[in-house]
Amino acid sequence: MHKEIGGYIELELKERSLFHKNGIYINSARNGIKYAIKAFNIKEMYVPYYTCPVVWQTIQEENCKIIPYTINEKFMPQNNFHTNSFILYTNYFGICSKNIKELEKKYKNLIIDNAMAFYMPYRGILSTYSPRKFFGVADGGIVITSKKLNEKFEKDTSYQRFSHLLKRIEKGANFGYKDFNKNDDSLISEPIKEMSNLTYKMLQNIDYNETKKKRIRNFSFLHKNLYKYNLLKIKLEKNDVPMYYPFVSDKAPHIRQKLLESNCYTPKCWRGLLELIDKNICNIELYYHEHLIPLIIDQRYNKQDLKQIIDIIKEY
């Protein structure tokens, strides 16, 4: 097919280098886990209770047996695994590089879910990343692994999923929230596809170094002002570029409501988690579900914006 010449002018996007140059660019991070199952022919996998239920669904769709495990207050597995076991570990909030280093020393088949840690270097036998958790794109995933599939995947399309991003610019987050959920849900149960041209080109337009600096700056500012109130003890390592500042407090339900009333939107990790976990053994998971608030630290905000969050928390 000849290149199109003429007609209307399309969205103008530059072609810059991507952050994960050795990555396999697919349609979602959850499909990165499917990629791992296919590439390594995994029949059973240890999976944390404390994770998005969609991760469990994704693994079950590949007829892979899930062996669930619990975590401690430092997000480390409470189980001891066989050295040859396939273990999925979540880089919680992008602050768990130290945990990953420790687990790598013990287990050779570690799969890292870096959905919350876009900047984390490749670790384990496979790492999967979610650009849309960090940047203004509607979909996409990145896989880094030494064992690549020979399979050719269908190319995805993304234009139909961008409505919430456009609506937020024009009308604000509330106006686009229904579209956000609809577009998010449209990715569930999607097969592995090659990343769309639109998402790929948009990822070429991001200043990754500047975004990284802003996230670390914002995290550090919140931590400097809130560490004495935070029941979770945090120390960033060299490779930690967080998605959120995880703030743990016994007063979290009241703080979360006050933040919402002030138009500060904080997610709750994760939708459907209570139906997933074993309430008889998941004490940490239950506590974090109710008392951990992921505070926003992303590149859109400055210290003045974050001061609003600090002032609300200090009221309690």
What are the pLDDT digits (tens) for 261-306?
Answer: 999 999 989 989 999 999 999 999 999 999 999 999 999 999 999 9
Q: How far apart are CA 94 and CA 114, in angstroms?
A: 7
Residue 122 per-residue DSSP state: P
| Position 2 confidence tier, pLDDT thresholds 50, 70, 90 | confident
Domains within the chain, CATH numbers bracketed: 24-203 (3.40.640), 208-314 (3.90.1150.10)
Give the pTM: 0.95
Closest CA to 120 of 90, 84, 146: 90
Average pLDDT score over the chain = 96
Express each pLDDT in 94-149 by its tens digit.
999 999 999 999 999 999 999 999 999 999 999 999 999 999 999 999 999 999 99
Parallel/antiparallel/unpaired status of strands 86-90 and 109-114: parallel
Tokens 């810059």 found at: 16
Q: How long a stretch of residues is the chain? A: 316
Which tokens hold the place of 254?
């009241």
Backbone angles phi, psi at 128, to 5 degrees: -125, 140
Query: Above 90 in pLDDT, residue 82?
Result: yes
**What SS3 class is residue 29?**
coil
- Residue 3 has a pLDDT of 83
Tokens 């190319």 found at: 155
Parallel/antiparallel/unpaired status of strands 44-48 and 244-248: unpaired
